Amino acid sequence: MLGFAAALVGAGCGSSGAAGSKPAGTAAAAPAPKTVTYAGGDGHDCAHRVIVQGASGELEGVSAEYDWLAQKSPGYKRKFQSLTKCDGQPSDKVTIETASGDTVDVYFDISDFFGKGL
């Protein structure tokens, strides 16, 4: 398989659904705060999820997710977002439509900011 960065820009990558899915709109997030950093993988599955670190709370953390997506997949549209667990850690699964029309699931480890409030 090609690298996931290529999948975000071109080829699709999918996975099965998760409980708690809800539709979402076109991404229009403010840039992530300078204190937020990203670690981990490219997000193409739970084992390679993007780790969001340094957010002060859930609003800032989710904004950082959208900022990461905008950087990695310009022109994407959010289709769904759901809370799940990966290796026992709270994670967000964001289903996007890439600019080329492919549907891709992206996983984020949110354990650093999950439950910290808004």
Rounded to 10 degrees, the C-alpha dihedral 69/75/77/81 comes to 0
pLDDT at 4: 43
More confident residue, 38 or 24: 38
pLDDT cut 90: percent of the chain above it: 68
The pTM of the full predicted model, rounded to 2 decimals, is 0.74
> If you ran DSSP here, which 8-state letter would residue 7 be given?
H
pLDDT at 69: 97
Place of tokens 């899915």: 21
Q: Which amino acid is at 19?
A: A
Average pLDDT (102-109) is 98
117 — pLDDT class (breaks 50, 70, 90)? confident
| Structure confidence by residue, pLDDT tens digits, 18-31 | 334 444 554 455 55
With a cut of 70, say whether residue 96 has pLDDT above it. yes
More confident residue, 21 or 67: 67
Token pair recorded at residue 77: 């549209």
